[in-house]
Structure 1
């Protein structure tokens, strides 16, 4: 599982000109799923997302987690995070899970994040043509891959 986390002051996702999810201060999380992903990956990543200390404290130091700033999470599925660009100029998405595998994993991540965060999160619509709008704060952008825990 691969995620891109962006610290934002606001973010929203729109499908067919309708906002499906919107947040103020918090984290926009883009999530790509591959067949090798398990519930262990979900638990590990959710814990990372909720406990990352990437919000500024009173001294301007990134020392606070999302709970401490009462922030929100907007989770958006994005299969292109598993793009392979090794050969040629047209990315291959062979590693990205098909919807029958990915949708249940996406739904489990939503539930896990809500449990770990202690409140409802906002989402896009899996597989839809989504328009994501964000105001990146910092900018702070972090990439985490559950198969490459660095």
Structure 2
């Protein structure tokens, strides 16, 4: 799952010339759901969006407060084009979740966000409609989020497979270590203990 999170002074969604939703200061979130996304991806994205420290505190110190801590609004817009893969110059969207599955999945994300925050502070556009999204970016501040699921890009998949193979080789060498190596205290962290998910330090230290 991918999301483009923008800090805004105001944002709104118009469909057919009629405004369907709007917010004042807060976040506008463009959300792209992939065909491989699960509830775990949704939970990660909800947690990150609501806890990103993109706002100043009461004394003006930057990057100190989240949208929830400042009691600001969130406008979510379903954006399947974030799952675009270019074939030459032509966009291809086969990685995006089909609309009939994406709509209830997107709805569940909104409900989770409302449950975690305040229902009246979470607004959204109109799923599947041709929308005009009006964003007044504040800063500008824009953050690109990707849930920590396995990559679908072939090059990234190949890289991940090679990393996994190296980890397995490292583990398999354990029994063949010399007695001196086995008995010596390990001063360095085992390389096999590192993973992409653990690289997200912020998710371990804070919500």
Q: Which TM-score band applies after superposition, normalised by the shorter structure? A: over 0.9
TM (norm. structure 1) is: 0.94
Residue 44 (structure 2) aligns with: 44
Residue 75 (structure 1) aligns with: 76
CA distance in 1, matches of 2:110, 2:119: 11
- Alpha-carbon displacement from aligned partner over 1:50-83 (angstroms, at most 9, x marks no partner): 1111101223411101112110010000110000
Residue 152 (structure 2) aligns with: none
Structure (1 or 2) with the greater strand fraction: 1
Residue 101 (structure 1) aligns with: 101
What number of residue pairs does the alignment pair up?
Answer: 149
Q: 1:147 Cα shift?
A: 3.4
CA distance in 2, matches of 1:55, 1:7: 8
Is 1:34 aligned to residue 37 of structure 2? no
Residues 106-145 of structure 1: matches in 2 within 5 Å?
A: 106-120=106-120, 121-145=122-146
- Alpha-carbon displacement from aligned partner over 1:103-146 (angstroms, at most 9, x marks no partner): 01110011011111123311111110000001100111001111
CA distance in 1, matches of 2:145, 2:47: 12
**Runs of at least 5 residues in structure 2 that lack an aligned partner in the other structure:** 150-196, 201-207
- Alpha-carbon displacement from aligned partner over 1:2-48 (angstroms, at most 9, x marks no partner): 10000000000001111111000110000011111111111111011
- Larger RCO (CA under 8 A, 6+ residues apart): 1
Structure (1 or 2) with the greater helix fraction: 2
**Runs of at least 5 residues in structure 1 that lack an aligned partner in the other structure:** none
Over 4 Å off, 4+ runs: none
- Determine which structure has more spread, i.e. the larger CA radius of gyration: 2
Per the alignment, in what secondary structure is the counterpart of residue 55 of structure 1?
Answer: coil
- Alpha-carbon displacement from aligned partner over 1:73-103 (angstroms, at most 9, x marks no partner): 1000011000012x31011111011111100
CA distance in 2, matches of 1:111, 1:77: 14
Q: What RMSD, in angstroms, separates the aligned Cα atoms of the two structures?
A: 1.2
Residue 63 (structure 1) aligns with: 64
